[in-house]
């Protein structure tokens, strides 16, 4: 997960960051609301941990502005020491997806973030094969923390392969998906597959895109269905 933590209590922010990082997650920090809003709007985070009481811009106002201005509806888990029903309702009305009362266990925080991430992927329809991710709403692909630079036709090629994974997609089916009834006479598909393979296979990363000679291509990896 790529997590943005917006929390002005430096010790708590550090504890959250250390715990999540030790479990393989990437964490960015903001210590006030204005910086937090900027990072939330410009960054590419999977989930946001947002304190209710912040300098500059409080959590309610930040969440409300994020929902109105942001292109991506990144899930938000709000942190607060307030424990009344009215406070929780106010948080949800501002656009928060979940609410956690301080003090809390870090393991519960991680579990709630993972649940928000799963729900967010279903809403956005994100395809996953191993650590390869394709967001169909944003038409954006990633391999782990690395954003992939793909043309529209290669994104469409990747989509077809991910939707079918781990099954083989025949060459003729891919050509029809990309070019309809008038596929190019040249070896265009294999050229795009070669370029896609180079982009998704970084140094030290497991090979996912396979050629099944005489038939087509497949992605070999653990599939997570939206």
Structure confidence by residue, pLDDT tens digits, 153-163: 999 999 999 99
Assign 28 to helix, strand or coil.
strand
Please give the CATH number for the structural domain made up of 2-124.
3.40.50.2300
Query: What gap in Å lies between CA 49 and CA 40, rounded to an integer?
Result: 10
Q: Between 1.10.10.10, 3.40.50.300, 3.30.390.30, 1.10.3720.10, what CATH number should domain 127-224 receive? A: 1.10.10.10
Tokens 């994100």 belong to 126
pLDDT in tens, 126-170: 889 999 999 887 788 999 888 899 998 999 999 999 999 999 999
Positions of CATH 3.40.50.2300 in the chain: 2-124
Angle, alpha carbons 221-201-226 (nearest 5°): 40
Positions of CATH 1.10.10.10 in the chain: 127-224
177 pairs with which residues across the strands?
none
Q: What are the backbone dihedrals phi and psi of residue 224, each rounded to the nearest 5 degrees, phi first?
A: -115, 115
pLDDT in tens, 53-80: 899 999 899 998 988 886 667 899 999 8
Query: What gap in Å lies between CA 128 and CA 166, rounded to an integer?
Result: 11
Polymer length of the chain: 226
């Amino acid at each position: 997960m790529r997590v943005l933590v917006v929390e002005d209590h430096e010790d708590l922010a550090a504890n959250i960051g250390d715990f999540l990082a030790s479990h393989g997650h990437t964490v960015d920090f903001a210590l006030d609301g204005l910086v937090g809003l900027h990072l939330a709007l410009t960054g590419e985070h999977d989930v946001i941990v947002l304190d209710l009481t912040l300098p500059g811009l409080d959590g309610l106002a930040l969440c409300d502005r994020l929902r109105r201005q942001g292109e991506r509806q990144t899930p938000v888990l709000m942190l607060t020491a307030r424990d009344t029903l009215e406070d929780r309702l106010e948080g949800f009305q501002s656009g928060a997806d979940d609410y956690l009362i301080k003090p809390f266990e870090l393991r519960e925080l991680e579990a709630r973030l993972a649940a928000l991430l799963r729900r967010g992927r279903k809403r956005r329809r994100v395809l996953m094969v191993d650590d390869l991710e394709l967001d169909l709403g944003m038409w954006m692909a990633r391999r782990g923390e690395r954003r992939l630079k793909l043309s529209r036709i290669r994104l469409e090629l990747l989509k077809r392969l991910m939707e079918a994974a781990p099954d083989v997609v025949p060459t003729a089916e891919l050509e029809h998906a990309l070019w309809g009834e008038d596929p190019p006479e040249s070896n265009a598909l294999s050229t795009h597959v070669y370029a896609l393979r180079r982009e998704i296979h970084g140094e030290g990363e497991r090979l996912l895109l396979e050629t099944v000679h005489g038939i087509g291509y497949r992605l070999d990896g653990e599939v997570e269905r939206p």
